[in-house]
A and B are shown apart, each in its own frame.
Chain A
Amino acid sequence: MLLGLFTAVVALICIYTIRHYCFTVNRIIGQQRHPYVDVDTAEWPPVTVLIAAHNEEAVVGDILTALLEVDYPAEKLAIVPVNDRSVDRTREIIDSFVVHYPGRITPFHRTGGRAGKAAALKDAMAYVNTEIMLVFDADYVPGKALIRQLVAPFFDPEVGSVMGRVVPLNVGKKLLTRILDLERSGGYQVDQQARMNLHFVPQYGGTVAGIRKSALDEIGGWNENTLAEDTDLTYRMLLAGWKTVYENRAECYEEVPERWPVRVRQIMRWAKGHNQAMVGYSALLLRSRNVSWWERFDGLLLLGVYMMAPVLLLGWLLAMVLFYLGAPVGGGLAVLGLAAFTTLGNFAAFFEIAAAARLDGSRARIQLLPLTFLGFTVSAISVSRAAWQQFTSWIRGQEMVWHKTERSRVAPVVLEKSA
């Protein structure tokens, strides 16, 4: 039985390894899909931009300034900062913008209600009177052409949501930010774009993103009962026959965590939310007639991605046990096998990051690749811990708590200098 379980673990690792390699090879030599990137002339639809802001005094001014300067017809752009129960100067800053730019900004100051981004966005829907809405977290700094780039895919009536590319802004601050910069690069430049190329399941990421309101209404609106409203929305859209598309050239700067505890909390929240979606949608995805077989396959692998960390640790444990029990095929072989697969698996992810850095035209930063092992280790432990906490919470019937990612920015962004 232990050997069977161990074989299953190794098989799963193999599948994810192959997946990483396929995505990377696709990005390097495959045909690239950017069907909407050339739509630069059109009758642009009215758009509402929602800015999720919970205690964002350090950053909210930057995004409002950037949005007021974007290249989109001002009369068609409604800017709605969603000030979600902030206790810092967020409200004051937003209101000062409202005074200085009359008619351009419609603030929503949320003073009560349930915690969490999904709950805040749900309440903010009363301020959305357009078919297309874009969502940004407050620490993002959109470029001038970004709104049009995110809106263009909605000319396709099959598109329910759009995801742009997130680019870390505070790269050079710490070892952590440099590791996260590489991880983000691999995740977007290779992973997301390959899924777009292959007609798989690009993921709506909850920020630098767009949603078609009629699609959202059709799937029942925002789900407050999840820690990852983005993954939840991706799958509900998919199951209802709406596509999520990824726009690799719709780039937007974000602030990544600068402290390990913040990063650990962030990835644990993502893991828990993702696992919620896995439990909720795996069976539905298998049965759905609205998705292709490839979407079903990729969708299931994407749902299980955060479970691979505990699976990996389980594999190590099983290998050790089999070694000391003297398993029939040889415990040593089991340990060696898992070590080999783990190494290969890691190299597959490293390969993805290396390819992404090359595609981005980065030079010296690729030398940091060996240090990403540190990031992977921390992530693997944190994600496994999150899965364990989730399991024990479920046993005890406890509700999961949403944690906001803390910001480190202390001064307004000056992109010209940093670039």
Chain B
Amino acid sequence: MTSVLGPLALATSTGALLIVPLAPALRELISKRDAGPLVTRKDDGNISSFAASLRTRCISLHRMLDDCAKFGDNQLIDLSHGSAFVVGQSGAWAGSHHPVALVACAGSVELPAGFQSIADFYCRGNVRCGQQSIFRSLLSEEEIALGNDTQVLRWVHAESSLSAGRNCRLYGRASSAKLLTLSPGCSFERIYAPVIYSSTEGTALNLRTEYAPYARLAQSGIGRTRVHGAMHFPADEEHRGDAVATRNIDLEQGACIFGSMKANGDISLKERAEVHGSLVSTKRIHISSGCFVKGPIIAEREVIIDSGVQVGLPGTPTTVSAPLIHLAPGSVLHGTAWAKTEGRVGD
């Protein structure tokens, strides 16, 4: 009997020792606690999706907003996700100092300097705020004018124009369905509007509204030039087709490319140069005054855009993407600028 138990005990204990390290694996295999497919990206990437979400949350408040506006009354109400302050008074702010989750304004409001809101702020009219204000998130169905040194911590969206005073800091998303104007000293991360001016000087630019018909050739199938080393395009030279260089690319004054460009190094566009395609660099892109770029601008380090530059076209918006984006006052962008680290409008 003893002769059987001994080996049996040894085999059992050895088996148990082997199983112990596998126990968590076997437990997970049987219980399937984490056996679903990985959740993939669901959002459509629309910059105004947060604004749309807040707008949806405010739908239930519209009747109350109408009533408050009718009587010029303000009310503090409880909602399922926290209290909300409903503002019926238009004009100068006479708001609550209670901590609330949502502020909803029926009409236009003027907020005093130093105004701070950690609530989601929704307004059916215009929003005009004084300097050094702080918002968590802000949505207006009309215009927004942010005073100097104002900070938006998460997102801001205006259905009409959005203007940011000097030295505003726009963290997260800032967008407008029509026009966005950034004053000198403003910083941003992700911005979008059909037209973005870096300071009001940009409004004086003589904008292109349609590119030459033959530039449509640049869209496809016109060949590619690939060069080992740097590429240099002389002043006022015209080049048709895509261009790829294993090092830097330089365009002299007035050079015009009907195609896209890629440099495995820096790209430099001197004054009045034009690219009727995209610009892609593994390092830096510098676009000098008076230049025009129609397609996306993608740099893995930095994009510097001088004054008097136009990026994209009305009705044909595009993207500027880089960790660092520097915009000089007096330029215009159509579309998106997405700075992973920081975007800034120069003084």
A contact residues vs B (CB 8 Å cutoff): 33, 35-36, 38-43, 45, 71, 130-131, 143-145, 148, 152, 155-158, 167-172, 175, 178, 181, 185, 199, 214, 241, 249, 251-253, 289, 360, 362-365, 367-371, 415, 418-419
Contact = CB atoms under 8 A, between A and B. Distances in A.
Contacts of B224: 157, 214
B31 to A, nearest CB: 8
10 contacts: A35-B280, A42-B317, A45-B219, A157-B224, A157-B261, A172-B35, A214-B223, A365-B35, A371-B22, A418-B37
Given A143-B40, A289-B228, A371 B25 contact: yes
Q: Which of A40, A71, A363 has the most CB of B within 10 A?
A: A40
Interface string B28-45: 110011111111111111
Contacts of B280: 35, 155-158
B221 A253 contact: no
Across the A-B interface, the 9 shortest Cβ-Cβ residue pairs: A172-B35, A364-B34, A157-B242, A131-B220, A251-B40, A367-B24, A38-B321, A38-B338, A41-B336
Interface stretch (B50-58, B113-121, B143-151, B292-300): B292-300
Contacts of B181: none
B262 A41 contact: no
B40 A167 contact: yes
A158 to B, nearest CB: 4
B44 A368 contact: no
B335 A41 contact: yes
A249 B38 CA distance: 12
Nearest to A254: B37
Given A157-B280, A418-B36, A367 B28 contact: yes
A415 B37 CA distance: 9
A42 B44 contact: no
B48 to A, nearest CB: 12
A252 B39 CA distance: 10
A179 to B, nearest CB: 10
B298 A35 contact: yes
A253 B278 contact: no
Contacts of B321: 35-36, 38-39
B161 interface: no
Nearest to A148: B45
B163 interface: no
Interface string B183-216: 0000000101000000000000000000000000
A416 to B, nearest CB: 10
B319 A364 contact: no
B37 A370 contact: no
A145 B33 contact: no
B81 interface: no
B329 interface: no
A368 B25 contact: yes
Q: Which of A41, A155, A175, A368 has the most CB of B within 10 A?
A: A41
B226 interface: yes
Given A169-B37, A171-B35, A175-B29, A39 B298 contact: yes
A157 B244 contact: yes
Contacts of A253: 37, 40
B82 interface: no
Given A42-B295, A169-B37, 6 more contacts: A41-B318, A145-B41, A156-B262, A157-B260, A365-B34, A365-B35
Contacts of B278: 155-157
Interface string B237-248: 000001110000
Given A39-B296, A41-B317, A157-B259, A362 B34 contact: yes
Given A38-B340, A251-B40, A370 B298 contact: no
Nearest to B21: A370
B296 A155 contact: yes
B27 interface: yes
Q: Which of B40, B43, B259, B318 has the most CB of A within 10 A?
A: B40
Contacts of A36: 298, 321
A365 B35 CA distance: 7
B316 interface: yes
Contact of A144 (B37, B44, B228): B44
B243 A157 contact: yes
A155 B260 contact: yes
